Amino acid sequence: MRARKPETLAVTMAHRKEIPDFLTEEECKLIVHLAQLKGLQKSQILPTDDYEEAMEMIEISQMDIFNLLDHNQDGQLQLKEVLTHTRLGNGRWMTPENIREMYTAVKADPDGNGVLSLEEFKQLNIRDFHKYMGSQKVKMSDLVRNSQHTWLYQGEGAHQVMRAIRQRSREIVEHSEPLQVVRYDQGGHYHAHMDSGPVFPETACSHTKLVANESAPFETSCRYVTVLFYLNNVTGGGETVFPIADNRTYEEMSLIQNDVDLRDTRKNCDKGNLRVKPQQGTAVFWYNYLSDGEGWVGELDDFALHGGCLVTQGTKWIANNWINVDPNRRRQLQFQQEMERYAGAGAGAGAPGEWTVDKSYSGVHLEL
Ligand SMILES: [Ca+2]
Ligand SMILES: [Ca+2]
CA proximity to 165, closest of 221, 223, 229: 229
Please list the residues that pair with 311 across neighbouring strands. Answer: 237
In contact, 76 and 115? CB cutoff 8 Å: yes
Ligand nearest, relative to CA of residue 117: 2
Lowest-confidence region among 13-17, 236-240, 269-273, 285-289 = 13-17
Domains assigned to the chain: 2-44+144-360 (2.60.120.620), 51-140 (1.10.238.10)
| Residue 105 exposure: Cα atoms within 13 Å on the Cβ side | 17
CA of 65 to the centre of ligand 1 (A): 12
This prediction's pTM = 0.83
Residue 361 pLDDT > 50, yes or no?
A: no
Rounded Cα distance, 295 and 292, in Å: 7
Residue 358 pLDDT > 50, yes or no?
A: no
pLDDT, tens digit, 9 for 90 and up, residues 57-66? 666 788 888 9
CA of 250 to the centre of ligand 1 (A): 18
pLDDT, tens digit, 9 for 90 and up, residues 103-157? 999 999 999 999 999 999 999 887 888 888 888 888 999 999 999 999 998 887 8
Q: In the predicted model, what is the mean pLDDT of the chain?
A: 83
Ligand nearest, relative to CA of residue 107: 2
pLDDT, tens digit, 9 for 90 and up, residues 164-198? 887 776 555 667 889 999 999 999 999 999 999 87
User: At 29, which amino acid appears?
Assistant: K
Q: pLDDT grade, residue 313 (50/70/90)?
A: very high
CA of 121 to the centre of ligand 2 (A): 9
pLDDT in the model for residue 152: 94
Residue-wise DSSP of 52-95: HHHHHH----HHHHHHHH-TT-SSEE-HHHHHH-GGGGTTBPPP
Over residues 290-311, the mean pLDDT reads: 91
